[in-house]
Amino acid sequence: MTAARRQRKSTPLTVLALALGLSVVALRPALAATTELIVTDPTSGLAISGFDPVSYFTDPKPEIGAGTLEFGYAKVIWRFANEGNRAAFKEHPEVYMPRFGGYDPVAIVRGVTVPGHPLNYLVVGQRLYLFYDSASHAAFAKDPERFIEAADRKWPEVSKELTP
């Protein structure tokens, strides 16, 4: 872990959360920045809260990546559960990154950016989609093609509000 990331990890909010006995991991989705093209934890700099993006495609459930297996891509840090997953991501990051930077596609259709939660997801058409809540997940699951098409149309406009 880099010195800059160590410093960001020990922010007052993290210290306060730990003092109150709150799970810092539980706070992360709510704190995810909505000024980034990829949903990023502002306290750690990690994409998708440190989950291994390749594991969504290879494992029965997504795995948390290791701090020793990181890769910087698209101005964020990605973590991986194993060396093979990191190598696969390096070769084809566009395949494994969540669509719309990890923002909820149902919210994008409404014209807003809402960070998706890494444990609320679907893989459709060999692409990963993250959702803010179970209602968005359920709506998308009923007609994924319609939501994907509508979100694809809205994303260029909606993403302009995000900092590149």
Dump pLDDT digits (tens) for 96-139: 999 999 999 999 999 999 999 999 999 999 999 999 999 999 99
**Stretch 60-65: mean pLDDT, rounded?**
96
In a domain, 164, yes or no: no
CA atoms within a 13 Å half-sphere pointing along the CA-CB vector of 164: 2
State the DSSP string of 53-84.
TTHHHHSSS--BPEEEEEEEETTEEEEESSHH
Number of domains in the chain: 1
In a domain, 149, yes or no: yes
In a domain, 60, yes or no: yes
In a domain, 36, yes or no: yes
**Stretch 40-63: mean pLDDT, rounded?**
95
Q: Look at 40 and 9; give whichever has higher pLDDT.
A: 40
Check: pTM over 0.85? Answer yes or no. no
Structural domain of residue 42, as residue ranges?
3-159
Cβ-count burial 114-142 (b if 16+ within 10 Å, e if not): bbbbbebbeebeebbbbbbeeebbebbee
The tokens of 115 are what? Answer: 């960070």
